[in-house]
Amino acid sequence: MKDFLTEDFLLQNDTAKKLYHEFASKMPIIDYHCHLSPKDIAEDRVFKSITEAWLEGDHYKWRAMRTNGVDEEYITGSKPDKEKFVKWAETVPDTLRNPLYHWTHLELRRYFDIPDILNPKTAESIYNESSEKLKSTPFTCRGLLRKMNVEVVCSTDDPIDDLKYHKQVKNEGFEIKILPTFRPDKLYAVENINAYTAYLKNLSEVSGVEVVNLETLLQAAQTRVEYFHENGGRLSDHGLEQLYDVDYSAEQADASLKKLLSGSELSLEETQQFKMTVLFELSKMYHAKGWTQQYHLGAIRNNNHRMMGILGPDTGFDSIGDFSQVKALSKFLNALDSTDQLAKTILYNLNPADNEAMATMIGNFNDGSIPGKLQYGSAWWFLDQKDGMEKQINALSNMGMLSRFVGMLTDSRSFLSYPRHEYFRRILCNLIGTDVENGELPNDLEWLGAQVQNICYYNARNYFGFYE
């Protein structure tokens, strides 16, 4: 019987242990996609308790607590922090075989040096010790990033954001790069007329371009792309159920926008055509700036309308969708590639049924211009656990080139989520080490160690252009 969470956690053979401890573990972290608060970093927030740092905004934990019968007052409600934490401690033992069980104990050990198992008996002592540590300088938001050897953080930001906190961090000389990512989902969210027209008014104000038609919408968007670029932005990100297999044109989109601005709703076909037109034009802007575009595809969001009305979006009521992905994605990428305006692209799928399809799609548009121009993105959201990571790594290895992969990200709102990179690195090293032990790869640690370090760090460093 093996002990739990030892230094060789998830490492099942000697080669895996050497690859992790001698090569992977010391690599810095480039977190090229997350949802951390730039405001918290700029103000170097001090968390009042482990509850604030751990449970605030973490819908992974919220879903588990609800499943365990915890009342919402102890999750997103007004109960005291300590009582909320105790409810989480009561839930943790019942998360066995869920990644939350591993993440919880990795985070307690890596940040707070607490080796105890979290359960109702240990809840009070762990709450007191971790909360007290969070009040000291090494545990402020900036200190937590330093503790995990983070080198770059890319937040997720709306085009109308003024990026004042990114500027503040840079002007203060903080050694970790805090960079914006252009997330333009609201630029084409035309389903709600009132919300969309209100957004366009804000866009007009910040861009200095009055949006009255498609041409001015794209001019305003270009202005914001330039603004993000001036402030270190080198990525865009798009959260979509799917791309659409429809014919689209600027003329159609212009007519649709004018129709919408006159107060008339768009048909389903008009909505899809408009979205695809705007995405297409944005993608050409990204290519011109040398950016990387990211597409997170396949989530079906806000399924519980009753709870949506009470708590709002992004509160733990999303799941894997079964949308058709491949044909429309191929059509979209091909249209951009036909004029050599396809930017560096990362594709993420949420439905594991799409793994091999995504892994093969990238090979269609890797044109030799740069290594790994198109990427099959890391296991995302419901898939960023041991089984999901292994399947993503295996699909990429079988269908493409794992050696060119830009590696893991956190996709988290919590400053305590960085052990997910350790989790990924251990899984990666174990898979490669197992191949060596099985005689499927040469026992050449220098070569394999370099490959591991590339996947964990150097590929991302060279790919995104953050250091130019």
- Residues 342, 346, 349, 355, CA torsion sign: positive
Same domain, 406 and 347: yes
For residue 250, name the pLDDT band (cuts at 50, 70, 90). very high
Rounded Cα distance between 39 and 323, Å, is 35
Is residue 115 located within the same domain as residue 182? no
Domain boundary among 138, 159, 192: 138
Output Rg (C-alpha) for the chain, integer angstroms.
Answer: 23
Total structural domains within the chain: 2
pLDDT in tens, 316-371: 999 999 999 999 999 999 999 999 999 999 999 999 999 999 999 999 999 999 99
Statement: residue 437 has pLDDT above 90: yes
Residue 347 pLDDT: 98
Q: Give the pLDDT of residue 42.
A: 98
Are 257 and 178 within one domain?
Answer: yes
Check pLDDT > 90 for residue 82.
Answer: yes
Confidence bin at 233 (pLDDT 50/70/90) = very high
Judge if 369 and 285 occupy the same domain.
yes
30 located within any domain:
yes
Mean pLDDT of all residues in the chain?
97
pLDDT tens-digit map of 123-139:
999 999 999 999 998 99
Q: Are residues 134 and 146 both part of a single domain?
A: no
Q: Are residues 133 and 143 in the same domain?
A: no
Residues 260 and 294 in one domain: yes
Residues 6+ apart with CB under 8 A from 390: 427, 431
Confidence band, pLDDT 50/70/90 cuts, at residue 2:
confident
CB of 182 within 8 A of CB of 157? yes
Instruction: Domain of residue 94: give its range.
Output: 46-138
2 is a domain residue = no
Pairing of strands 292-297, 299-300: unpaired
Q: What is the pTM of this model?
A: 0.97
Task: Identify the pLDDT of residue 263.
Answer: 95
300, part of any domain: yes
| pLDDT-derived band at 468, boundaries 50, 70, 90 | confident
Residue 146 and residue 120 share a domain = no
87 with 121, same domain: the answer is yes
Does 162 lie in the same domain as 128?
no
Asked whether the predicted pLDDT for residue 288 surpasses 90, the reply is yes
Residue 404 pLDDT grade (very low, low, confident, very high; cuts 50, 70, 90)? very high
Write down which residue in 94, 121, 138 finishes a domain.
138
d(CA 402, CA 200): 42
Q: Is 384 domain-assigned? A: yes
The 10s digit of each residue's pLDDT in 139-191 is 999 999 999 999 999 999 999 999 999 999 999 999 999 999 999 999 999 99
Tell whether 406 is covered by a domain: yes
Where among 138, 160, 194 does a domain terminate? Answer: 138
Mean pLDDT of 233-238: 98
pLDDT of residue 20: 99
d(CA 412, CA 100): 13
Per-residue pLDDT band at 57 (split at 50, 70, 90): confident
| For residue 30, pLDDT beyond 80 | yes
User: Residue 302 belongs to what H/E stretch?
Assistant: none
> Model confidence over 32-53: pLDDT tens digits?
999 999 999 999 999 999 999 9
Is the distance from CB of 81 to CB of 52 less than 8 angstroms?
yes
Is residue 8 one of the residues assigned to a domain? no
Task: Say whether 417 sits in a helix, a strand or coil.
Answer: coil
SS3 category, 345: strand
Does residue 1 sit within a domain?
A: no
CATH for 426: 3.20.20.140
Distances (CA, A) of 128 to 30, 58, 112: 31, 21, 11
In a domain, residue 320? The reply is yes
Please name the residue that has the structure tokens 């922090």.
81
The domain spanning residue 87 has which CATH number?
A: 1.10.2020.10
Residues 332 and 394 in one domain: yes
Same domain, 70 and 97: yes
